[in-house]
Amino acid sequence: MLFRQLEYFVALARERHFARAAKSCYVSQPALSEALRKLEHELGVPLVRRGHTFEGLTPEGERLVLWARRILADRDALEHEVAALQTGLTGELRIGVIPAASSTVALLTDPFCVEHPLVRVRLETKLRSLDIVERIRRYELDAGIIYAQGVDTSGLTRTPLYTERHVLLAGTELLAGRTGTITWAEALEMPMCLLHRELRGRQLLDEALAGRGLRATPQIETDSVIALLAHVSTGRWACVVPQPWLRTLPTPAGVRVLTLDDPVVSAEIVLVAAAGEPGSVLAKALITTAGGADLDAVLGEPAPG
C-alpha cells in the first residue's frame, strides 16, 4: 500500500468523479483508476461502485476512507514535526471560519504568521459551525473558529476566543432621544433588517428573544452584513450586528450604535481542533497563539454611541 494510492482514494471520495479526482492529483484518469484497483486488491475489499461513471463508494469504502484520511493526516503531521525540528514550522494551516468571525480572525492569524513566517494559512470563511467540525473530523481542516453553542465538539479541543455581543445600528432620526442602551422590545418597533434565519447567529438571537416572549419580524433578511449596513445608511432602517464587526466595517455616516439589553444577546466563539495525538503541529501552534491573544479583552471595548 502506497501513500499515493490513499491520496487517490481520498480525492475520489471528495470529488465524487474520476476525472476531477485525477485532475486534483495531477495524474491521468487511467493511472488513478489502476492505482485504486491495486489498492482494492491489496485490501481484499471493493472500495468503489463502478458503472459508466462513478456511482459512489461501497460500504467498505465509506468506512475505510476515514482511515485513509487519518493516515494521510498523520503523515502530514510527521512531516511538519520533522520540518519544525529542522527549520521551524512550515506547511499549510487550513482554518474553517464561520462568517460572523471573518472580521476577527485576523487578530489570531496575524500574530500566528508573525511567529511562524514559513507557514501558509488558508482560510475558508463561509462555513457553518457544524460543517467545520465535520471537516476537522475528516482531516480536511486543521482547525476552526465556531459558535460554541449547539454543536457537538466531542473529540475536539476547545479554546475560548471571545464573547460575541450584538448591538443596534440605526439612523440618527430613528434614535432621536435615545442614548447608550436600548431594549429589544423598543428596537423591534423600528423598521428592521436582519441576517436570515438559516444563519446560526440569527438563530441564537431568535432563541434569546423567545425566552423573553419576543419575536423579530424583519421586513428585510439577508446573508450579508454589508447589505445590512447599506440599508441602515439610508436612515430608514435599523439592524443588529455582532459588535466585533464594527472594528473592521466603518459605521455609515448618520448612523449611531446602541447597546442592546433585556435580553443581552451573546454567543461564545471558540477555536476547535482535533484532540488526538500526535495531532497537527500547526494546529497546536495556533492554539498556543490563541491562548496568548486575549481576544475578549481586545474586543471588549464598549461600542461607540
* 220 within a domain of the structure (yes/no): yes
Same domain, yes or no: 151 and 183: no
pLDDT of residue 303: 43
User: Which cell is 211 given?
Assistant: 425566552
Determine how many CB atoms are found less than 10 A away from the CB of residue 54.
17
Same domain, yes or no: 143 and 189: no
* 283 within a domain of the structure (yes/no): no
pLDDT of residue 86: 58
Q: What is the pLDDT of residues 31-57, one digit of tens each?
A: 998 999 999 888 888 898 887 778 888
Q: How far apart are CA 51 and CA 48, in angstroms?
A: 10
Of the pLDDT bands very low, low, confident and very high (cuts 50, 70, 90), residue 136 is: very high
pLDDT of residue 161: 94
pLDDT at residue 128 greater than cutoff 70: yes
Return the amino acid letter for 225.
V
Same domain, yes or no: 104 and 249: no
* 189 within a domain of the structure (yes/no): yes
Same domain, yes or no: 120 and 252: no
Q: What is the mean pLDDT of the chain?
A: 88
Q: Are 284 and 115 in contact (CB under 8 A)?
A: no
244 closest CA partner among 190, 200, 296: 296
What is the domain count for the chain?
A: 3
pLDDT of residue 100: 86
Same domain, yes or no: 249 and 167: yes
| 156 alpha carbon, distance to own chain's centre | 15
Same domain, yes or no: 181 and 240: yes
The pLDDT > 90 percentage for the chain reads 43
Across the range 79-105, mean pLDDT stands at 83
pLDDT at residue 202 greater than cutoff 70: yes
Q: How far apart are CA 139 and CA 134, in angstroms?
A: 9
pLDDT at residue 252 greater than cutoff 80: yes
Across the range 237-243, mean pLDDT stands at 91
* 284 within a domain of the structure (yes/no): no
Count H helices and E strands in the chain, helices first: 11, 12
Q: How far apart are CA 243 and CA 260, in angstroms?
A: 11
Return the CATH number at 202. Answer: 3.40.190.290
pLDDT of residue 107: 93
Same domain, yes or no: 152 and 188: no
pLDDT of residue 301: 55
SS3 198: coil
Q: How many residues are recorded in the chain?
A: 305
The pLDDT > 70 percentage for the chain reads 96
Last residue within a domain, chosen from 41, 70, 99: 70
Q: Which domain holds residue 219?
A: 163-266
Across the range 75-95, mean pLDDT stands at 79
Return the CATH number at 55. Answer: 1.10.10.10
* 78 within a domain of the structure (yes/no): no
* 7 within a domain of the structure (yes/no): yes
pLDDT of residue 278: 67
Q: Are 271 and 161 in contact (CB under 8 A)?
A: yes
pLDDT at residue 281 greater than cutoff 60: yes
Across the range 175-179, mean pLDDT stands at 83
Same domain, yes or no: 262 and 172: yes
pLDDT at residue 290 greater than cutoff 60: yes
Q: What is the pLDDT of residues 3-19, one digit of tens each?
A: 888 999 999 999 989 89
Residue 207 φ then ψ, to 5°: -65, -40
Of the pLDDT bands very low, low, confident and very high (cuts 50, 70, 90), residue 177 is: confident
Of the pLDDT bands very low, low, confident and very high (cuts 50, 70, 90), residue 94 is: very high
Return the CATH number at 144. Answer: 3.40.190.10
Same domain, yes or no: 176 and 189: yes
pLDDT of residue 111: 94
Which positions ≥6 away from 38 have C-beta within 8 Å? 5
pLDDT at residue 133 greater than cutoff 90: yes
pLDDT of residue 302: 46
Same domain, yes or no: 168 and 231: yes
pLDDT of residue 305: 43
Same domain, yes or no: 124 and 272: yes
pLDDT of residue 85: 62
pLDDT at residue 304 greater than cutoff 50: no
* 135 within a domain of the structure (yes/no): yes
* 217 within a domain of the structure (yes/no): yes
Radius of gyration of the chain (CA): 24
Q: How far apart are CA 299 and CA 59, in angstroms?
A: 47
Same domain, yes or no: 170 and 44: no
pLDDT of residue 70: 84
